[in-house]
Structure 1
Amino acid sequence: MRILASPAFANKKVNPYNALLYSNMKAFTRAHTKNLVHEYSHKKAILEKFDIVHFHWPDGYINQKNIFKALQRSILLSFILMIVKLKGSKIVWTVHNVAPHDAFHPRYSQAFMRWFARQCDGLIFMSEESKATFFSLYNCKENIHYAIIPHGHYRNSYPDPIDQAAAKNHLGLPQNKQVLLFFGMIKPYKNIDLLMELFTQAKLFDYVLVVAGNTDSPELKERLKQHAKNPNIHLLLQFIPDDRLHIYLSAADAVILPYKSILNSGALLLALSFNKPVIAPHIGAFVSLQQELGRKWIYSYAEDLEVGALKNALRHLEAQDRSSPCPLENYDWDKIAASTLAFYRQLFPISSSSEQALSS
């Protein structure tokens, strides 16, 4: 089986999800199939033959500030999809998001994604909630193949955690206060300015709130700086490299992800990989993960985040026993890679010739 993935390994430094998936996928194949997974390029898609063309964030490709550039890119991608389908390739989309976050042209982006979904032969969702949300918004081909394959954990993907006191000292945080952490790219839908405002209103004097991440919005950056006048809020507006992220997670007592909307979250799995409990809205993959792992690991609030919900979440998590690591065995990457390969094979008619081709 030959797979063309967009992306496969190119985004490893930004998000190791794809590299973990495809490197583990290679481990399931025979030694002579070293060229199983290929990094997507238009040239490869047009000139070579692949069994599977797997997209992860197709909306990002056409999400351009200049509408004419967005149109140009969508026309080119449409042409390429037509070519690969004529060659017999199956198009797979892992639905990380049902709608583009912070799209420059929301109506156009959504219209393109509805068209893109109809071109797919298979869809991968990370939770039942994601699947339900998707099918409430999209009209796909009848009897389209789909699978529920969760997001994997990030254990052994980052440096090991260090002692909490040492981590606090390294970051200049007080030893006598608990640490509530948000980390990652700061975008409007992540609700960080509201989180900082509510934290101040809640008067949680035994906590410090650490917000670590960058934003490309000058307006949002200024609002965050205003909220950071609270001495118990530590704001670091810069990208946190992988070789330092473990320090922030080691210092944390809990992680908060107060998103307005979300379908899946790599940050959630990363926090749990460091055995840190998470506060998050009761939406998307947070729902099924909470049902499986319990409220001592994921405390989700049903309504919009407000002062009472924040206080209740922290007090609940403080009372829980987390002496054992978070049980993430179901999110091992070898299991996820095996499930993804099995799904690929479901997309082809069963015959002796096709079985032989797909097993190689």
Structure 2
Amino acid sequence: MANKKAFYFPFIHVNEYVEISKESISESGFEVLDFKKLFHIKNIFDRKNNVAVLNWYEDRLYQKRFGKLRAFIEHFIVFFQLILMRLFASHIIWVRHNFKPHNRAQRPFTHKLTCGALNLLATKIVTLEKTESFNSTVIPHPLYRNDDEMLHDINRLEPVSFEVECLFFGTIKPYKRLDELLTLCAALSMFVAVNPLQPVFL
């Protein structure tokens, strides 16, 4: 039996979703490899066994660490990868996480162009929730921790001595606009749960 390979983008990421997703794909019988390895000449001859799994691919051009020159080069890399991708993989799974890049107030034209190309190229589009904008298969965001771990921590908590009307949890970053939420909900009793190991941006 031919070895099924999933070329995953990005292969390494701070978001735990990536590792959970890769583990799930591996359990399905695929060898999970770095997306960069897809464009090896031998994969053209084995394309029927190859799947490309793309997360945040359309957002890769807008990373803050990119200077103008690097961003310009990345545009060409994305352009050529999109043209060649179907030569190396028979299936392209596009997991669309966001409507627009987090660090852009408006959707750039190149983002719309990349999304349009992926919409044509992808054999399956996956979203984390239902959208009316396009057809997709909905696979809800996985939990980062299993039930036993969460129940263990819940049982260790001391009872809260005040009434909480609004609870915010998760990584606090500028694009989530917690500052606006705090302003709008100033009259509410709010409890903010923060991971002390992560930087807080307000």
Query: TM class, shorter-chain normalised?
Result: 0.7 to 0.9
Aligned match of 2:5: 2
Q: Could you list the per-position Cα deviations for residues 21-58 of structure 1 after superposition, in whole angstroms to 9, with x for gaps in the alignment?
A: 221332233xxx6xx111222xx122152511110101
- Structure 2 matches for 1:304-343, cutoff 5 A? none
Query: How large is the Cα RMSD of the aligned pairs?
Result: 3.1
Aligned match of 1:357: none
Structure 2, gaps ≥5 residues long: none
**Which residue, out of 110, 121, 126, partners 2:123?**
121
Contact 1:45 1:80 in 2 (8 A): no
Aligned match of 1:18: 18
CA separation in 2, counterparts of 1:45 and 1:73?
17
**Which residue, out of 142, 151, 165, partners 1:152?**
142
Q: Could you list the per-position Cα deviations for residues 268-314 of structure 1 after superposition, in whole angstroms to 9, with x for gaps in the alignment?
A: xxxxxxxxxxxxxxxxxxxxxxxxxxxxxxxxxxxxxxxxxxxxxxx
Change (3 A) 1:105 1:191: closer
Secondary structure of the structure 1 residue equivalent to 2:153? coil
Work out the percentage of aligned pairs sharing the same amino acid. 22
Matched, 1:185 2:172: yes
Structure 1, gaps ≥5 residues long: 136-145, 167-174, 214-235, 241-360
Secondary structure of the structure 1 residue equivalent to 2:192? strand
CA separation in 1, counterparts of 2:35 and 2:192?
37
- Structure 2 matches for 1:88-103, cutoff 5 A? 88-103=89-104
Q: Could you list the per-position Cα deviations for residues 226-246 of structure 1 after superposition, in whole angstroms to 9, with x for gaps in the alignment?
A: xxxxxxxxxx79538xxxxxx
Quick check: which has more Rg, 1 or 2?
Answer: 1
Structure 1-normalised TM-score? 0.44
Secondary structure of the structure 1 residue equivalent to 2:97? coil
Aligned-residue offset at 1:105:
7.4
CA separation in 2, counterparts of 1:149 and 1:53?
17
Change (3 A) 1:91 1:71: farther
Change (3 A) 1:151 1:183: closer
Aligned match of 2:199: 239
1:46 corresponds to which letter in structure 2?
F
Secondary structure of the structure 1 residue equivalent to 2:146? coil
CA separation in 2, counterparts of 1:101 and 1:199?
23
CA separation in 2, counterparts of 1:119 and 1:25?
21
